[in-house]
Structure 1
Amino acid sequence: MGLYRTASVALAATLAGLAMPALAQSNIDGTYSDTDGYVEITVERCGNYRCGTITRIIRRKPGEPMNDAHNDDPDLRSRPILGIRLLQDLRWDDGVWRGTVYNPEDGNTYRTEVRPAANGALEVKGCVTLFCRTRMWPALR
């Protein structure tokens, strides 16, 4: 009788584990400020993914133009900073949002991992090869 009881308990534990829902996606939709408080970024659904777009200039960064002057593509250097999509193609993958982040300060695009942080902030980690840099974007609303 002990063997059957052990097998039944093991089977029940296995079935309970299979019935548990998958880890829920963390919601990152909202409005944030960049680390230094220059722009407002709105994160929302873009088709099947999430994206983050500059939706307001909070204050002008000293010495920086109001266009995408550092972009590698000369055809994009005249586009205004307002409306630039910083976060692109974010998809939920293994407990984190993964996609790309564009940095208008150097005109480069990096692999990114994005996750919610304390006080409603957003943790944005940009990586090139093995080197990564993490920024905190505080929530605005």
Structure 2
Amino acid sequence: MKQSQIAKTIMLIGGLLMTTPALASGSINGNWVTQDGDAIVKIGKCGNTVCGRLHKYLVTPPNGVNQKDINNPDKKLRNRKLLGIAVLSGFKPDGKVWRGRIYDPKTGKSYRSEVSLRSPSKLKVKGCIAFFCQGQNWTRAK
């Protein structure tokens, strides 16, 4: 009887070890190229939640790489550089969707947001006002 339980435990552990790579590939963490192809957003842990920071420009903004957050409604934040700011913040998993907030530096507005992994290399990012959502497809950076 004990050998049977040990064998079952070993099989269970083996099965879990075999599924770990599949779970890791389902992560939203990593570097993502925005739909417009103008920037890379790095998604990862930020305290108890997940956030996405503007990591790299692929197209230089109008005021250069030191572009400031000039459209921010908070006048105190308009002098900060865009590079490095969290455009995705407070994301927590909710089933297959992650929910949080998205900031659009082009308009200075924040929206309720949902992020979902469509494949290991495709991320659906939505910003929503009430029931109206607008989405983008981001691609995992190589």
TM > 0.5: yes
- Paired amino acid for 1:139: R
Distance 2:86 2:132 in 1: 23
Question: What corresponds to 2:32 in structure 1?
Answer: 32
Distance 1:121 1:62 in 2: 28
Alignment of 1:67-82 (within 5 A): 67-82=68-83
Question: What corresponds to 1:120 in structure 2?
Answer: 121
Unaligned regions of 5+ residues in structure 1, if any?
1-23
Distance 1:62 1:35 in 2: 19
Alignment of 1:29-108 (within 5 A): 29-62=29-62, 66-108=67-109
- Say what the alpha-carbon RMSD is for the aligned residues: 2.1
Structure 2 SS opposite 1:35:
coil
- Paired amino acid for 1:94: G
Between the two proteins, the alignment pairs up a number of residues equal to: 118
Give the superposition deviation at 1:118: 3.5
Give every structure 1 segment of 4 or more consecutive aligned residues whose post-TM-superposition deviation is greater than 6 Å.
Answer: none
Q: Any idea what the Cα deviations from partners look like across 1:82-105, whole Å, max 9, x if unmatched?
A: 011011010011321000001101
Distance 1:113 1:83 in 2: 21
- Paired amino acid for 1:36: D
- Paired amino acid for 1:82: L
Distance 2:92 2:141 in 1: 23
- Paired amino acid for 1:95: K
Q: Any idea what the Cα deviations from partners look like across 1:10-50, whole Å, max 9, x if unmatched?
A: xxxxxxxxxxxxxx794100101111111110001112211
Specify whether residues 46 and 92 from structure 1 end up closer, same or farther in structure 2 by C-alpha distance, changes over 3 A only: same
User: Based on CA coordinates, which of the two structures has the bigger radius of gyration?
Assistant: 1
Distance 1:63 1:86 in 2: 19
Structure 1 SS opposite 2:55:
strand
Structure 2 SS opposite 1:75:
helix
Distance 1:63 1:118 in 2: 35
The sequence identity of aligned pairs, in percent, is 34
Question: What corresponds to 2:19 in structure 1?
Answer: none
Q: Any idea what the Cα deviations from partners look like across 1:47-91, whole Å, max 9, x if unmatched?
A: 221110011112124589811111111111111110110110100
